[in-house]
């Protein structure tokens, strides 16, 4: 499957579809070769499932809330981000919560988050790349198809604009989205995408104009709660994340995956209402939850792989490559490793 390529040099051009953590990790390695790199993302900015949403004066993380580290390779990257200040350790005050009570939760694992919001990390990576003269990023550009031409690959966006040609195209979108781009051109990559099913997840939010009620035997500054409830699996208090200067109570409410899939096509306001009702159910009946001043929900159609995969990345001699968390497990570290190692392979650096 993995065909050795000629080392990438400053003469080469690479297009990267997506600007999430895997794409940015790949671009960072490729940039060291001097090759010209162009990133395309359909969203307004970089980040993908690590992006944050602004509501009023606050920022909500609606995708990954935290990440952990298992490999020394990723730890060195995280250490550099800690030094830079775009990442911090969080949370340290976690609970397991249900309608029958709250217990402290400590599994001994150090977790990290972007500071002051998850998007600070991907923003930092994107900014450091785009200050380089040979790297550019096109936001709000949905790549709709690829075209093989004699000297490489062209990319065509949803408005019909054509980019390229490029020697290599790296696709970092979740596998079902990558499939639609490679299906016409590469049966091996297309089959790999088809085997990687992604699960969906609703992520809700609730913003309050006053603090949540205090609970007996629960630290008033609790930061995150894993929840036992059919609809709700996690509550995260955004204002407790490091580097925040607004104390406004703003919660991210991540839904259970089974529940998300059963309600995938429901309206977002209905989902938000049900997640707030689930939140209410984990507070004792003796306390009153204030009425939120703003609620909403975001549908992640491809939130995480349904099962662990075994390939870190895939590439073919025709210049097409796939990276992202789809091919391992749905973790920030896996996404980063996927992009980073693909970058190393493309510049032919020994691993």
Number of helical (H) and strand (E) elements in the chain, helices listed first: 8, 20
CB of 258 to ligand FAD, least distance (A): 14
Q: Is 306 helix (H, G, I), strand (E, B) or coil?
A: coil
**Between residues 95 and 215, which has the closer beta carbon with respect to ligand FAD?**
95
CB of 304 to ligand FAD, least distance (A): 6
CB of 173 to ligand FAD, least distance (A): 3
CB of 268 to ligand FAD, least distance (A): 14
**Between residues 249 and 325, which has the closer beta carbon with respect to ligand FAD?**
325
**Between residues 144 and 293, which has the closer beta carbon with respect to ligand FAD?**
144
CB of 158 to ligand FAD, least distance (A): 8
Question: Where along the sequence are the contacts to ligand FAD (CB under 6 A)?
Answer: 17-23, 40-43, 48-50, 63-67, 142-143, 172-174, 177, 201, 203, 254, 300, 303-304, 324-325, 330-332, 335
CB of 19 to ligand FAD, least distance (A): 6
* Number of residues written out for the chain: 351
**Between residues 21 and 129, which has the closer beta carbon with respect to ligand FAD?**
21
Residue 263 and residue 200 in contact, taking contact as beta carbons nearer than 8 Å: no
Residue position matching structure tokens 């060195």: 76
**Between residues 94 and 316, which has the closer beta carbon with respect to ligand FAD?**
94
Phi, psi angle pair for 168, to nearest 5°: -130, 150
CB of 28 to ligand FAD, least distance (A): 13
**SS3 helix, strand, coil % of the chain, rounded to 5?**
25, 30, 45
Query: Closest by alpha carbon to 61, among 71, 53, 73, 72?
Result: 53
CB of 14 to ligand FAD, least distance (A): 15
- Distance separating alpha carbons of residues 276 and 97, to the nearest angstrom: 15
**Between residues 207 and 323, which has the closer beta carbon with respect to ligand FAD?**
323
**Between residues 335 and 342, which has the closer beta carbon with respect to ligand FAD?**
335
| DSSP type of residue 67 | B
Burial class (CB in 10 A: 0-12, 13-18, 19+), 245: exposed
CA 77 to chain centre: 17
CA 159 to chain centre: 26
End-to-end CA distance of the chain: 17
CB of 94 to ligand FAD, least distance (A): 12
Residue 288 and residue 279 in contact, taking contact as beta carbons nearer than 8 Å: no
- Distance separating alpha carbons of residues 48 and 161, to the nearest angstrom: 22
146: its two tokens:
């690829």
Residue position matching structure tokens 């730890």: 75
294: its two tokens:
């703003």
Q: Is the peptide bond before 83 cis (omega within 30 degrees of 0)?
A: no
**Between residues 12 and 42, which has the closer beta carbon with respect to ligand FAD?**
42
User: What residues have CB less than 8 Å from 75, skipping those under 6 apart?
Assistant: 69
270: its two tokens:
């209905």
**Between residues 148 and 299, which has the closer beta carbon with respect to ligand FAD?**
299
């Amino acid at each position: 499957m993995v065909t050795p390529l000629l080392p990438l040099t400053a003469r080469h051009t690479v297009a990267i579809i997506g600007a999430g953590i895997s794409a940015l990790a790949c671009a960072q390695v490729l940039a060291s070769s001097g090759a010209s790199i162009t990133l395309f993302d359909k969203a307004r900015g970089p980040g993908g499932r690590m992006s944050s949403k602004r509501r009023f004066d606050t920022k909500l993380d609606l995708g990954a809330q935290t990440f952990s580290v298992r490999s020394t390779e990723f730890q060195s990257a995280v250490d550099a981000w800690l030094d830079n200040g775009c990442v911090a350790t969080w949370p340290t005050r976690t609970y397991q919560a249900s309608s029958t009570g709250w217990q402290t939760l400590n599994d001994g694992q150090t977790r990290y988050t972007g500071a002051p919001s998850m998007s600070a990390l991907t923003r930092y990576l994107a900014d450091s790349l785009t200050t380089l003269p040979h790297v550019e990023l096109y936001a709000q550009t949905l790549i709709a198809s690829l075209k093989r031409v004699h000297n490489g690959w062209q990319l065509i966006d949803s408005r019909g604009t054509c980019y390229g040609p490029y020697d290599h195209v790296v696709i970092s979108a979740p596998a079902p989205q990558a499939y639609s781009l490679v299906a016409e051109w590469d049966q091996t990559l297309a089959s790999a995408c088809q085997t990687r099913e992604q699960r969906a997840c609703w992520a809700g939010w609730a913003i309050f104009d006053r603090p949540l009620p205090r609970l007996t035997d629960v630290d008033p500054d609790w930061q995150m709660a894993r929840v036992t409830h059919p609809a709700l699996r996690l509550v995260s208090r955004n204002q407790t994340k490091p580097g925040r200067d607004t104390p406004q109570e703003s919660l991210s409410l991540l839904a259970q995956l089974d529940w998300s899939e059963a309600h995938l096509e429901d309206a977002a306001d209905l989902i938000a209402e049900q997640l707030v009702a689930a939140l209410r159910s984990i507070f004792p009946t003796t306390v009153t939850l204030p009425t939120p001043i703003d609620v909403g929900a975001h549908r992640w159609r491809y939130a995480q792989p349904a099962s662990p995969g075994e390939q870190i990345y895939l590439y073919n001699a025709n210049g097409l490559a796939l990276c992202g968390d789809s091919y391992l497990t749905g973790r920030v570290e896996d996404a980063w490793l996927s992009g980073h190692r693909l970058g190393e392979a493309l510049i032919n650096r020994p691993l």
